[in-house]
Amino acid sequence: MLLSEIARKQIEEFAKAHGFHSVGFVPSEDAETYPEFCDWLDRGYAASMGYLEKRKDAYRNPTGVLPECRTAVLLTLPYQGHPGTKSVTKQGKKRTLPGPSEPTFGSYAAASEDYHIWIRRKLKPLVRELHAMFPKCLTRAVVDTAPLLERHYANRAGLGWIGKNTMLLNRQIGSYFFLCAILTQADIAGKQVPSAKDHCGTCTACLDACPTGAFAAPYVLDANRCISFWTIEHRGPIPQAVRPSLGPWIFGCDICQMVCPWNQHINTEIPDENKPFGVQEKADCSHWLSLDQESFDRLYRKTPFWRTGLLSMQRNALIVAGNLREPTAFPWIQQFINHPNHDLMELAHWALEQYRSGTNQEK
């Protein structure tokens, strides 16, 4: 048995033992979808995420992340998604999703620790294993912050297909999983497996359900319209025209995953590090509005909310409270009407107006 074959077998067994669902190996080659990525940037679909344009050249090949990279190892790690929403209409007809009636957030953030942190921790033993087998080869773990087109390489490795909602989909675990990679200078990719076939068919559930029309076309996301972009990546005020579309989403959005048929009836073992923790508290508007910087730092320094920041989380909470006219948040909103931050002060007045207009409509 060749050393590369032994390495693949050991890495796959080691990964499964550490909670990873699937593992794939691909040679380090230029991404066939790189021109599409560049076109996506040129069309302005990345919105204000300028870091993508700044590192555009590096996305062409894994060598842009690890010089002399020979192999990319792609791994999936499931997380607990939102309960699926079954369609009651026939395929091909427009489907709608009313969305949660209470404040909520993207389910990937349900764990008590930022996934970047604990996934890197899980990858370390795999990196050490590879280094022990190939001590002269550099190896690097990647968790979606490096300029790597992970979904393309995962598709090439046979781990799933890229759906119309641009998520990687796997027939066993749907799309509720993290995707990470190990890049190595060792040549262990072996014989190339066929790319995973597209199983979306004529279904358009994700496209139809998006409340903001964020898909410019099937397989093309316009971040300028995406709830996840506005609530996680965007800094500063959110335009009034966009606010109602956020609905109940304080942080992120799972609608295009919730309606996907491949996410129904998923029964996957979730790693302990990623099991939901404190979900209800995180989804409560009054909780976010009651925080000061010190308490935010103490509670959320090692969570996905940390990068978004307290001001942006309170911005989101004010919008969601206004959209839902959440009773428990009302007294906290009143405390923001003279807030030193002008954007939050303006939002507090806007949110209170939503309460008033809702009361008038009920009359």
Full 3-state SS string of the chain: CCHHHHHHHHHHHHHHHCCCCEEEEEECCCCCCHHHHHHHHHCCCCCCCHHHHHCHHHHHCHHHCCCCCCEEEEEEEECCCCCCCCCCCCCCCCCCCCCCCCCEECHHHCCCCCHHHHHHHHHHHHHHHHHHHCCCCCEEEECCCCCCCHHHHHHHCCCCEECCCCCEEECCCECCEEEEEEEECCCCCCCCCCCCCCCCCCCCHHHHHCCCCCEEECCEECHHHCHHHHHHHCCCCCCCCCHHHHCCEEECCCHHHHCCHHHCCCCCCCCHHHCCCCHHHHCCHHHHHCCCHHHHHHHHCCCCHHHHCHHHHHHHHHHHHHHHCCHHHHHHHHCCCCCCCHHHHHHHHHHHHHHHHHHHHHC
Per-residue pLDDT tens, the chain, 363 aa: give them: 677 898 999 999 999 998 899 999 999 999 999 999 999 999 999 999 999 999 999 999 999 999 999 999 999 999 888 765 554 333 444 444 545 678 999 988 887 789 999 999 999 999 999 999 999 999 999 999 999 999 999 999 999 999 999 999 999 999 999 999 999 999 999 888 888 999 999 999 999 999 999 999 999 999 999 999 999 999 999 999 999 999 999 999 999 999 999 998 777 777 666 665 555 556 789 999 999 999 999 999 989 999 999 999 999 999 999 999 999 999 999 999 999 999 999 999 999 999 998 754 544
Measured between alpha carbons, how far apart are the two ends of the chain, in Å? 78
Question: Which residues have C-beta within 8 Å of that of residue 10, sequence separation ≥ 6?
Answer: 129, 133
Active-site residues: which are they? 144
Q: Which two tokens stand for residue 231?
A: 């609530």
b/e 44-56 (16+ beta carbons within 10 angstroms → b): ebbbeeeebeeeb
Contact by Cβ (8 Å): 150, 74: yes
Q: Which two tokens stand for residue 246?
A: 């956020």
Indicate the Cα dihedral angle 96, 98, 100, 106, nearest 10°.
Answer: 40
Radius of gyration of the chain measured on its C-alpha atoms = 22
Give pTM, 2 decimals. 0.90
